[in-house]
Amino acid sequence: MRARLAKVLIMKKLTLGKILQSQGFGTKKSCHYMVLDGLVEVDGGLVDDVHAEFDPMEQGGLKFKVDGAAWIYHEYVYVALNKPAGVECSRRPKHHRGVLSLLPDQFTERDVQPVGRLDHDTTGLLLLSDDGNFIHAQSHPKRHVPKTYVATTQDPVTPELVAQLSAGVKLTDEPDPLAAQARQLSSHEIEITLDMGKYHQVKRMLTAAGHHCMALRRSAIGGLTVEALGLEEGGWTYLTPEQLGLLVAA
């Protein structure tokens, strides 16, 4: 992240056409036509010169409007989304709507993608970005970024279940038992924190411990919680530098 910030500090002025294109508003030609057609305002004033130059990081990000919609320039997009159920974490969804359909079309244009995946029926905190280094740092198993889930179980949660998950359960395709931090939240809810997620790990660990997972929600990544972000299901927000600092290995 420090390298990214250093790059921002030395960024030079860009033409308005290049700024629009970098933010996902289309091809060079289509962005030029947006300007020529009088659809772009910068700092409250109409700009119809595609070659007009601006400092994109001026005052923390150039403020502009496209066809009346307000935007702020971001060199890289870092987004938190409270994912609802029935949504696939894929740029090419097969059976359900794709997660990018919950975000502005411009994010798809600039190749924003999920950082890791949540099952289509799993809800909660999901990160998305177009910064490859950030995606790698957050998703690589060797980084051990802790992720916290709240599972709703069919049968009541017991102290024995918490102890069993904490000690480790054996999955059929894993050479060693997998353990997790676990604590009971209510009669049918258990909080589970993993520092290296395997495929369907929470659901499979609960099954191995003799419990069926009825619903699963990711509540936190590192020190960033969906509750602190105040996002309703389907809602999203840009992450601030302070919020990014809560993510381990960010």
130 is known as an active-site residue: no
Tell me which of 49, 119, 131, 195 is the catalytic residue: 119
For residues 149 and 193, give the distance between their C-alpha atoms in angstroms, rounded to a whole number: 6
CB-count exposure of residue 114 (10 Å: 0-12, 13-18, 19+): buried
Active site residue ranges:
119
